[in-house]
Amino acid sequence: MRKILFLTIGDISKIATMKRALGMANPMQKLGWDVSIIAMDCEENRRRISRECNSTIKINYYKDTSALNESKDKTAIVNQLKPDFIYICSYSIRNRIIKNLLTSCKPRLLVEYSELISSINGISKARRWMHYYLEIKSIFYSDGLVCASQYLNKYFKIKSTFFGKKKLPILYSSYGYNKDIIDQPKKIFPTLKEKYNKIIILVYMGTMAKNYGLFTMLKAMLIISKSNKNVKLLLLGIGKDMLEAKEFVSVNNLHNYVEFLGYVPEDDISSYLELADMFISPLNNTIQDWARCPSKIYMYLPFNKPILTCEIGEAKEIFKDEGYYFDNMKPETLSGLIEKTMDKKIIHQEVDIFQHAWTKRAEKLDSWLTANFT
């Protein structure tokens, strides 16, 4: 039996790259793999892992420590488990295996990218250069790359060719959704249905930040409020611009149109997604958003509701020319789209949602590993 180990980093509530490991663990096991996960020991990780992974998945917890010690601790676990493949969910100084300390096995190392941190303008130049260095280093460090967006797929093919590793295997594999989690009982849905009776519900789930389209959504709701539409935007999540956003709602008397729900427990999220009439997923025309994989869209897909998004990156890959698109720099395009959708002037586009399940992503990874490493 082939062995694969998912190497993860941090608390999943703060660093979301563990989603890949949790989503693919069970499907990979069903495909005949011996699956292990290395994860930081914290309450949220233990809760999510126990909820999403079979009891037969081997979980190995490490204590939060310095970057070097974390890397050493993970390498020690690898020496014990002797996997054939190590899937590094996010390559960094902390989240790596020290090759010269591998004494009992020589696993193939796979590095995944779900975003391009070197392209993010909101962080310091020094940090961006450090991440660019890691991007290039990973081309030589890994035996294969997995890219969660088409932009990243093309980017690393160009970089690997430029640096003389033209034959480096690269797999394009975006995020997915977990059908078992979607199908779990929606405990608070009846209560929500009664509370928001006869109101059109828009749901945004994510970080409360300007560069994530927070104020585009608020300004769109301000426009809609002028026509007294019976609609409300529910904002699920927290973030640095939340207080400013609440002030905007207060000043513009939007309390009947916008509600901040803050952090919503994982067990309650599916109830809110079931309640929604529409989802909103803003994207900017920046390298950052072309490169990143918007994981929330994949959570929205199985609920078969209109997803209002932007003609950027992976959203464009999913919906092609049939998407509900708006310009994140122009709130009026979002408000107009909301009103058209409410008035049913737009018919929901056809998307084969089952092609975006984690089971499909696992099948693709399995085939790719067999084709390139046997």
Topology of domain 180-355 in CATH is Rossmann fold (3.40.50)
Residue 179 has a pLDDT of 80
Give the per-residue pLDDT at 349: 66
Mean of pLDDT values over 49-63: 95
CA Rg value for the chain: 21
SS3 335: helix
Question: Do the beta carbons of residue 339 and residue 224 sit within 8 Å?
Answer: yes
* Domain residue extents for the chain: 3-176+357-373, 180-355
The third-level CATH classification (topology) of the domain covering 3-176+357-373 is Rossmann fold (3.40.50)
CB burial class (10 A; 0-12, 13-18, 19+) of residue 328? Answer: buried
pTM score of the predicted model:
0.93
Helix, strand, coil fractions of the chain, as percent rounded to 5 = 45, 15, 35
Segment 105-155, tens digit of pLDDT? 999 999 999 999 999 988 899 999 999 999 999 999 999 999 999 999 999
> Which DSSP string corresponds to 129-181?
HHHHHHHHHHHHH-SEEEESSHHHHHHHHHHHHHTT-TT--EEE----B-HHH
Q: Is 59 helix (H, G, I), strand (E, B) or coil?
A: strand
Examine domains 3-176+357-373 and 180-355 and report if their fold is the same: yes
Q: pLDDT tens-digit profile of 144-179? A: 999 999 999 999 999 999 999 999 999 999 999 988
> Average pLDDT, whole number, for the chain?
94
| Residues 312 and 284: beta-carbon distance below 8 Å | yes
Q: How many whole angstroms separate alpha carbon 213 and alpha carbon 221?
A: 13
At residue 64, what is the residue type?
Answer: D
Q: What is the pLDDT of residue 90?
A: 93
Average pLDDT over residues 68-81: 96
- Summarised one tens digit per residue, pLDDT across range 19-39 is 999 999 999 999 999 999 999
Q: Contact 112/89 with Cβ under 8 angstroms?
A: yes
Q: Of 182, 358, 179, 177, whose CA–CA distance to 270 is shortest? A: 182
